[in-house]
Amino acid sequence: MKTKPRPIHLDLRRIRMPINAITSIAHRISGVLIFLLMPAGIFLLDLSLMSPEGFATAVGVFNSFCGKAVLLLLLWAFVHHLLAGLRCISIDVDLGVDKPVFLKTARIVLLAAFPIALLIWVAL
Amino acid sequence: MSSRRVSGMQAWALQRITALYLALYISYMIGLFIFAPPASYDAWRLWVAQPHVSMAMLLFFGSLLFHAWVGIRNILIDYIKPFALRLTLLVLTGLGLLACGAWSLEVVISARIV
């Protein structure tokens, strides 16, 4: 019996993307986003703890248009990453593996992340 | 080979343990900033300088860096095929994370001095 050759690595341009794949790739993208924003976060923490002037500058950054936009993006990344991670862990322990549930939870994670992030953003 | 050992089960477990701490810590901090944001520089600095707060913050950065290392490493191994490029990016990521670790250590510790 001849089997189809398995892909040796993942070619992003040729891969098929059902809803769970979109949730999964967004899990990775959100992780990379948080990773890339890490130096800026440490910088702002450093600034806020350095002096009263630094603290005021850091608060100013969070209140600026740009700061608010980046914060919303970061909150989305965190909420999506957290929900997708919880889904992963539940699948690890064999919960939600059946296809209909698997697809449904993927959709819930994908759709719920932004509204939750927006809610936190408004409350902050 | 020690590098092979960290690449499987240990990385998997590490990713989940750090994830748990990160989820709790970040959720707590979001709650804090919503319901009781620091009113002034002094309040903020004094809060961070408390031993348990500094410790929790250092643990947060440690978890974040380990978690990021496992995650970024997986992504690079999945998508970057040319060995030289993959190795270069892995080394840069590792160095960047180490630098972030040293920096955050310095930030948290200096908040406790004076």
**Per-residue b or e along B25-38, where b marks 16 or more CB atoms closer than 10 Å to that residue's CB:** bbeeebeeeeeeeb
Cα–Cα distance, B88 to B86 (Å, whole number): 5
Q: What's the pLDDT at A4?
A: 77
Among B30, B42, B78, the residue with its CB nearest the CB of A10 is B78
Fold (CATH) for B2-112: 3 helical TM bundles of succinate and fumarate reductases (1.20.1300)
B81 interaction partners in chain A (CB closer than 8 Å): 8-9
For residue A64, how many C-alpha atoms fall within 13 Å in the half-sphere facing its CB? 9
Residue-wise pLDDT for B75-114, tens only, equals 999 999 999 999 999 999 999 999 999 999 999 999 988 6
Q: Which ipTM value was assigned to this complex?
A: 0.91
Q: What's the pLDDT at A16?
A: 78
Helices (H) and strands (E) in chain A, counts: 4, 0
- For A55, other C-beta atoms within 10 Å of its C-beta total 20
Residue-wise pLDDT for B13-64, tens only, equals 999 999 999 999 999 999 999 999 999 999 999 999 999 999 999 999 999 9
The C-alpha of B68 sits at a distance from chain A's nearest C-alpha, in angstroms, of: 6
- Asked if the C-beta of B70 comes within 8 angstroms of chain A's C-beta atoms, the answer is no
Contact B19 A89 (CB under 8 A): yes
Distances (CA, A) of B20 to A59, A83, A87, B58, B77: 29, 12, 13, 15, 24
For residue A22, how many C-alpha atoms fall within 13 Å in the half-sphere facing its CB? 12
Domain boundaries, chain A: 19-123
Cα–Cα distance, B20 to B27 (Å, whole number): 11
The structure's pTM equals: 0.89
SS3 A71: helix
The C-alpha of A11 sits at a distance from chain B's nearest C-alpha, in angstroms, of: 7
Residue-wise pLDDT for A64-85, tens only, equals 999 999 999 999 999 999 999 9
Cα–Cα distance, B1 to A110 (Å, whole number): 39
Query: How many interface pairs between A and B have CB atoms less than 8 angstroms apart?
Result: 67
Pick one of 3.40.50.300, 1.20.1300.10, 2.30.40.10, 3.40.190.10 as the CATH number of A19-123.
1.20.1300.10
- For A74, other C-beta atoms within 10 Å of its C-beta total 18
Q: What's the pLDDT at B1?
A: 42
